[in-house]
Structures are given as C-alpha cells and as structure tokens.
Amino acid sequence: MKRLVPVLFLFAAGLKAEESGGENMTWKLANFAILAVGVGYAVAKFLPPLFRSRTAEIQKGISEAQQVKRDAEKRAADMDARLQSLGAEIEKFRTQARAEMEQEAARIREETARQIAKMRDQAKAEIETAGKVVSRELQAYAARLSLDLAEQRIRARLNPAAENALVDGFVSDLGASQN
C-alpha cells in the first residue's frame, strides 16, 4: 500500500500536467513509466509464486509419470520373466506327466499281471477240482459197473441149492457170533 501512494501521486501529477498543457509528453512518459513499474511490480509479485506452483505441479506430474513408467517397466519385466519361465514350467509339467504316466502304466501292468496270475491259479484250481469230481464220478461209475457185473455173475452161478447153503451158512455164522 505504501508503494501504491507514490504511484497515485505521480498519476495525479501527470493529470495536472496534461491540464496545464506544458511538458505533456514528459508526463505521459512518466505516467507510462509509473504504469509499467506498477504492472512490473504486480507481475513480479504475483506471477513467480504462480509459476513456482505451476512448475511444482508439472514436476510432480513428471515424477509421478516416471514412477508409473518404472512400475509399468517392472511389471513388463516380470511378465517377460514369467513368459520365459513358462516354457520351462511347461516342459517340467510334461516331464512330470510322462513320469506319472509311466508309473501308472507300470502299476497297471503289475495289476494286470497279478489279475492274470490270480485267474490262472483259479482256473488251475477249478480244473483240479473238476478233475477230482470227474475222477470220483468215474470211480463211482466203475464201482457200479463192477457191482452190476458181480451181481450178474453171482446170479448166474446162484441156484436154489447154493442159495439155501448160503442162507444156512449165514445163520450159523450169526448164531456163533451171538454166543
């Protein structure tokens, strides 16, 4: 405010000089100089803080943009590393899958071999059992045939006199065993 008073005073003096018609040009130059100094003062006082704040905003924006750029580059590098390691991981999975498939195939082969051996043993046992059953049936059939043949021979030799002799011999053996 203290600086504004001399400027106003000079301005007023310039107006008086114009009225007097004297050194009009000198006062106009003085007024212009005062006006220029006043505008220069206002510009010097108000524009630097405005420029500084604007510069600070721009620098802040630049630093934020640089940080975003660094973050993006880091993420891109991480993605590149993951993509490069992806091939190795895929090959690792393939190798692991092959190993698991081979293990499973070996397990299936072993299980199949056990099942075949079990079926072979069952078939062998069934064949042996069937052989024993057939052997018994054959023995029973042979025994029936021999009994039938013996019966036929005995009937052919047996007459009423031999029959009576047999019954008498049986009765006498029975009587002797009771005593």
- State mean pLDDT over 104-119: 94
**Residue 174 domain flag:** no
Which of 23-37, 46-60, 113-127, 162-176 shows the lowest per-residue confidence on average (mean pLDDT)? Answer: 162-176
Alpha helices in the chain (DSSP H): 4-20, 24-157, 160-178
- Give the pLDDT of residue 168: 86
Q: Tell me how far CA of residue 129 lies from CA of 119, 125, 150, in angstroms.
A: 15, 6, 31
Average pLDDT, the chain: 84
Question: Is pTM beyond 0.75 here?
Answer: no
**Residue 99 domain flag:** yes
For the CA atoms of 80, 86, 87, 93, the dihedral, rounded to the nearest 10 degrees, stands at 170
Are 27 and 11 spatial neighbours (Cβ–Cβ below 8 Å)?
no
**Residue 115 domain flag:** yes
- Give the pLDDT of residue 11: 54
**Residue 42 domain flag:** yes
pLDDT band at 159 (very low <50, low <70, confident <90, very high): confident
- State mean pLDDT over 153-176: 82
- Give the pLDDT of residue 22: 54
Residue found under tokens 């007024």: 31
**Residue 48 domain flag:** yes
The count of structural domains within the chain is 1
